[in-house]
Amino acid sequence: MAERVAVITGGAKGIGRGIALDLAAQRWSVAICYRTSQREAEATAQAIEERGGQALALKSDVSDPEQARQLIAHVEQAWGRIDALINCAGPYHRVPLLQETPAGWSEMFKNNLDPIFYLAQAAVPGMQARRFGRIISFSMANADKMEAQPQFTAHYIAKAGVLILTRTLAKLLAPDGITVNAISPGFIDSGSAPAGELEAVKKKIPIGYIGEVKDAVSVVRFLLSDEARYVTGANIHLCGGWGI
């Protein structure tokens, strides 16, 4: 049985990959969940093992409740436990609200909010049995401000929902020794945005530079640690002052 086990959605690339490799260096066993990025997921799994961790790369559409349940069951069967559930997956698109399609609207909730609920519902019983667990989900900087967002309304509402779900789970699960927290990034150079676009927004960031994957990794490392045992229901802004 593994010493510590994490499940990371969106773990094949970007911030999720950075977290996976950091945990591997601490000898965690890491299951990364992907939907379409098989090549990247396999490369990340290899890198996890090279750093001393155990790895699983599992294809799953966790917006489907049955697939989410099967993912958790697979990891528990393989390694006997899940200590940390880290929800990194969160696609978005920009489209003016009144031009949004029903499918596009639904997709934002289906892929940003629903999986956190389904995965928590599946993983929490095992955490409760051991009276230990960490759940971390990614929202977005300024989602707590409830501002009008005409260009990506559904995504924004879904990310605000992540914060509400985080606080609700935190309150429910605190008596079981399970902490539940959110991280809200601003602009992070995770490889998904063109360099020119990031450079253009730099002047809007009070701290004066774009965040890096390692900045997110360090916050996750803290929230998983014993030092953060009394931190639950928090929303940590990872934004250099942008959006607050």
Domain boundaries, the chain: 5-238
1 band by pLDDT with thresholds 50, 70 and 90: very low
Domain 5-238 bears CATH identifier 3.20.20.70: no
Query: What's the pLDDT tens digit per position in 206-221?
Result: 999 999 999 999 999 9
Q: Report the pLDDT value the prediction gives residue 92, as an integer from 0 to 100.
A: 84
- Residue that is written with structure tokens 């697979």 in the block: 74
Residue 3 has pLDDT above 90, yes or no: no
Least confident of 86-90, 185-189, 192-196, 209-213: 192-196
**Gap between the Cα atoms of 58 and 60, Å rounded:** 6
**Gap between the Cα atoms of 55 and 29, Å rounded:** 6
Mean pLDDT of the chain: 95
199 band by pLDDT with thresholds 50, 70 and 90: confident
More confident residue, 91 or 174: 174
High-pLDDT (> 70) share of the chain, %: 98
Query: What's the pLDDT tens digit per position in 126-172?
Result: 999 999 999 999 999 999 999 999 999 999 999 999 999 999 999 99
More confident residue, 197 or 216: 216
Do 81 and 126 contact (CB within 8 A), yes or no?
yes
Residues designated as active site? 156
**pTM for the predicted model, two decimal places:** 0.95
Query: What's the pLDDT tens digit per position in 150-161?
Result: 999 999 999 999
Residue 85 has pLDDT above 90, yes or no: yes
